[in-house]
A and B are shown apart, each in its own frame.
Chain A
Amino acid sequence: MVKVYVPCDSTALSLGANKTADAIIAEAKKRGLEIELIRNGSRGLFWLEPMVEVTTSQGRVAYAPVLPKDVPSLFDADFLTGGAHPLNLGLTEELAWLKKQQRLTFARVGITDPISLEDYLAHDGYQGLQNALKLSGAEIVKTVTDSGLRGRGGAAFPTGIKWNTVLGCEATQKYIVCNADEGDSGTYSDRMIMEDDPYVLIEGMTIAGIAVGATQGYIYLRSEYPHALKALNTAIARAEQAGYLGDNICGSGKAFHLEVRRAAGAYVCGEETSLLESLEGKRGLVRFKPPLPAIEGLFGKPTVVNNVISLASVPIILDKGAQYYADYGMGRSRGTLPIQLAGNLKQTGLVELAFGATLRTLLYDFGGGSATGRPIRAVQVGGPLGAFLPESQFDTPLDYEEFTKIWAVLGHGGIVAFDDTVDMAKMARYAFEFCAIESCGKCTPCRIGSTRGVEVIDKIVANKGSPEHSKTIQLARDLSDTMLNGSLCALGGMTPYPVLSALNHFGEDFGIMK
């Protein structure tokens, strides 16, 4: 029977993929044709969703974007055998956008039915876990350390070193916590993993649990992701049933249990200690460090807290070996980074590449320039706490250290483009406003500084051309300095990144004469 694929990823759904799927089923029925309709994850070419694929003898052929009105003509063109049609893009695997990528963490995404365990197993799923079960905890940790994997949530701390600390702790209970509170604007790679390949996250957490001796895991999932919640819960139940989770994983005698916990819309809970407070049922107030969560984390026990992408990269490392992963990348940034193209770009979507590609490659070769056709003026990389980059910095390679050199951050790999209609003073004001809304309130620089920051930006704009203007600019810089150096966590401590980068690179929007 012909297999027809229509994605169930929420971005595809946001463009009407369900209606497209319904129309295909109805049209096939009307014509007396038998098809098997599979809801796959998204290939990540979001500007072309809903993308329909059909299995042919040559491979999967893509048609996109397919709306219900296109469906009858697709059947007329015999799309079930890969027939010619204006929406026919050819073989999916041959699409330049995909071919230029190095998909390791996202190897299966878009190809499989996300919640089918059989599909997962048929596409190298659980190979990493099988290898891990033959190793000691210390050997697993060494493999992860040798791979060079660093925290993909944004802090880029070496994952293996964190695991090693937890491994070395004596405790009655240890925990693996997955930070799935992906709140950065312009990022959606965590969401895609959880919706489009949930088993890879479950496998990564299971390996982490076996490595450090933790028997309980929690996925702290943002409440804005209902589809991810459903996919994870279904996948967890099926993994339990098949013996990949529970008291005796694959007959090894080792235990690992996993539960999804819903966050409640607080951005600051993406900060690891605030997240732990929230999991414990408290206000998400940031904790002082030390003690590190690896030593005293959830309920006071040693806890690994890792981002979704970090954990989802573990299975391929254990499957193919540390060196295989480390062979990708540049400098101290090893492996690949799933980059998310967002905002004002023509071709938005998920691009997984080895570290080292330039921002310009991403914006123009993959992104195709701005969606509005106007020049790209500013790009924010790394979420609401990331710096704004001007055109002169577009040749910076995507590498943690290279970004640090230009006082910017890679963060979680989100890239948001703005065209030349953007008002950067407004963006700086928004950065302070966002910080004020989301501040947990524990430290003064963040709690008070953010509100004063909004007022200072308003004053700068109001004082344009007056003798007070330069003094007000200095005030904004002093305030940023206080927040940068005096805040307890990255929320207050990094809000100055968007603010000062806007001020430094786009001073004309603040009334600064060149």
Chain B
Amino acid sequence: MTIALTPQEHAKIEAHIQAHKNKAGALLPLLHAIQDDISYVPEAAYLPISKALALSVAEVHGVVTFYHHFRTHPAGKHILQVCRAESCQAMGSEKLEAHIKATLGIDYHQTTADGAITLEPVYCLGNCACSPAVMMDDEVYGRMNAEKVAALVKEARCA
């Protein structure tokens, strides 16, 4: 189902298209700009993007869905990424993952009912010296445990 866009979102997307369309290899920078701005890449943006970059809608769809980073649905206010890679596994991340999912009551790629937190898996944050690691929005947190993550989530909900 295509999510309908507000006129403001349309305007934002159009502005990003104009700013990026003449770059070499413009599609990824453009998709990043759109997602940074409105938290996802709406399907309704595919047609104007494809026209501006002389691509087919299928090609745009193909790129958006190839990359794990791009979302096709709006995210919650905050993104919590939990590292699933080997270094974090060596320090007990599997238990932590299960705990986070249980306490938030959601699985990966889902958003809490209050719209505060979207949970996503990530494969390495480059913080392997202080595993297990999570990332809340743009900040990495190391040597995590259940209490520390709970405090982060609480802080995010209050912010």
Binding site for B on A (CB under 8 A): 10-11, 13-15, 46-47, 49, 182-188, 190-191, 223-227, 261-267, 278-284, 299, 340-344, 348-350, 371, 380, 384, 414, 416-419, 422, 427, 430, 434, 437-438, 440
Q: Which residues of B contact A430 (CB under 8 A)?
A: 86, 89
Binding site for A on B (CB under 8 A): 24-29, 31-32, 53, 59, 62-63, 66-70, 81, 85-91, 122-131, 133, 135, 138-143
| Nearest-neighbor residue (CB-CB) of B143 within chain A | A15
Q: Is the CB of B127 within 8 A of A348?
A: no
Q: Which residues of A contact B26 (CB under 8 A)?
A: 281
Using A262-B28, A284-B66, A344-B90 as known contacts, say yes or no to A188 and B140 having CB atoms under 8 A apart.
no
Q: A186-B87, A262-B29, A282-B63 are in contact. List 10 more A-B contacts (CB 8 A).
A: A14-B141, A49-B130, A185-B88, A223-B69, A265-B68, A299-B25, A340-B128, A342-B131, A348-B128, A414-B87
Q: Which residues of A contact B89 (CB under 8 A)?
A: 427, 430
CA distance A187 to B140 in the complex (A): 15
29 A-B residue pairs with Cβ-Cβ distance under 8 Å, sorted by A, are A10-B140, A14-B139, A14-B140, A182-B124, A184-B124, A188-B128, A223-B69, A224-B122, A224-B124, A224-B126, A263-B28, A264-B69, A265-B67, A265-B68, A265-B69, A266-B68, A281-B27, A282-B27, A284-B66, A299-B24, A341-B129, A343-B91, A344-B91, A349-B129, A384-B85, A418-B90, A427-B89, A430-B86, A430-B89
Q: Is the CB of B124 within 8 A of A11?
A: no
A239 CB to closest chain B CB (Å) equals: 21
A262, A282, A344: the one within 8 Å of B32 (CB):
A262
CA distance A120 to B133 in the complex (A): 31
Q: Which residues of B contact A49 (CB under 8 A)?
A: 130
CA distance A224 to B69 in the complex (A): 9
CA distance A343 to B125 in the complex (A): 13
A417 CB to closest chain B CB (Å) equals: 6
Q: Is the CB of B66 within 8 A of A416?
A: no
Q: Is the CB of B142 within 8 A of A11?
A: yes
B24, B91, B126: the one within 8 Å of A188 (CB):
B126
Q: Is the CB of A224 within 8 A of B125?
A: yes
Q: Is the CB of B67 within 8 A of A186?
A: no
Q: Is the CB of A283 within 8 A of B66?
A: yes
Q: Is the CB of B29 within 8 A of A188?
A: no
Q: Is the CB of B68 within 8 A of A281?
A: no
Q: Is the CB of A264 within 8 A of B28?
A: yes
Q: Is the CB of B128 within 8 A of A414?
A: yes
CA distance A380 to B89 in the complex (A): 12
B158 CB to closest chain A CB (Å) equals: 17
| Nearest-neighbor residue (CB-CB) of A269 within chain B | B67
Q: Which residues of A contact B31 (CB under 8 A)?
A: 264
CA distance A10 to B125 in the complex (A): 10
Q: Taking each of A223, A225, A371, which has the highest tally of chain B beta carbons within 10 Å of its own beta carbon?
A: A223
Q: Is the CB of A11 within 8 A of B130?
A: yes
CA distance A262 to B31 in the complex (A): 10
Q: Is the CB of A185 within 8 A of B86?
A: yes
Q: Is the CB of B128 within 8 A of A185?
A: yes
Q: Is the CB of B28 within 8 A of A183?
A: no
CA distance A47 to B142 in the complex (A): 11
A447 CB to closest chain B CB (Å) equals: 13
Q: Which residues of B contact A279 (CB under 8 A)?
A: 25, 28
Q: Is the CB of A185 within 8 A of B130?
A: no
Q: Which residues of A contact B68 (CB under 8 A)?
A: 264-266
Q: Taking each of A14, A350, A380, which has the highest tally of chain B beta carbons within 10 Å of its own beta carbon?
A: A14
CA distance A267 to B85 in the complex (A): 12
Q: Is the CB of A283 within 8 A of B25?
A: no
| Nearest-neighbor residue (CB-CB) of A228 within chain B | B126
B27 CB to closest chain A CB (Å) equals: 3
Q: Which residues of A contact B86 (CB under 8 A)?
A: 185-186, 343, 380, 384, 416, 427, 430
Q: What are the 8 closest A-B residue pairs judged by CB atoms, nearest first?
A: A185-B85, A281-B27, A342-B128, A264-B67, A46-B129, A343-B90, A265-B69, A14-B142
CA distance A267 to B138 in the complex (A): 19
Q: Is the CB of A11 within 8 A of B129?
A: yes
A49 CB to closest chain B CB (Å) equals: 8
Q: Which residues of A contact B63 (CB under 8 A)?
A: 281-283
CA distance A418 to B88 in the complex (A): 10
B81, B128, B139: the one within 8 Å of A186 (CB):
B128
Using A281-B25, A344-B90, A422-B90 as known contacts, say yes or no to A267 and B130 having CB atoms under 8 A apart.
no
Q: Which residues of B contact A188 (CB under 8 A)?
A: 126-129
Q: Is the CB of B124 within 8 A of A371?
A: no
Q: Which residues of A contact B81 (CB under 8 A)?
A: 224
Using A265-B67, A427-B86 as known contacts, say yes or no to A348 and B130 having CB atoms under 8 A apart.
yes
Q: Is the CB of B28 within 8 A of A261?
A: yes
B10 CB to closest chain A CB (Å) equals: 22
Q: Which residues of A contact B129 (CB under 8 A)?
A: 11, 46-47, 188, 340-342, 348-350
Q: Which residues of A contact B138 (CB under 8 A)?
A: 226-227
CA distance A323 to B136 in the complex (A): 46
Q: Which residues of A contact B126 (CB under 8 A)?
A: 10-11, 182, 187-188, 190-191, 224-225
A232 CB to closest chain B CB (Å) equals: 14
B27, B29, B128, B143: the one within 8 Å of A187 (CB):
B128
CA distance A191 to B86 in the complex (A): 18
Q: Which residues of A contact B88 (CB under 8 A)?
A: 185
Q: Is the CB of B69 within 8 A of A185?
A: no
Q: Which residues of A contact B70 (CB under 8 A)?
A: 264
CA distance A318 to B131 in the complex (A): 37
CA distance A280 to B55 in the complex (A): 13
Q: Which residues of B contact A384 (CB under 8 A)?
A: 85-86, 123
Q: Is the CB of A343 within 8 A of B128?
A: yes
Q: Which residues of A contact B127 (CB under 8 A)?
A: 10-11, 14, 188
Q: Which residues of B contact A10 (CB under 8 A)?
A: 126-127, 140
A225 CB to closest chain B CB (Å) equals: 6
| Nearest-neighbor residue (CB-CB) of B137 within chain A | A226
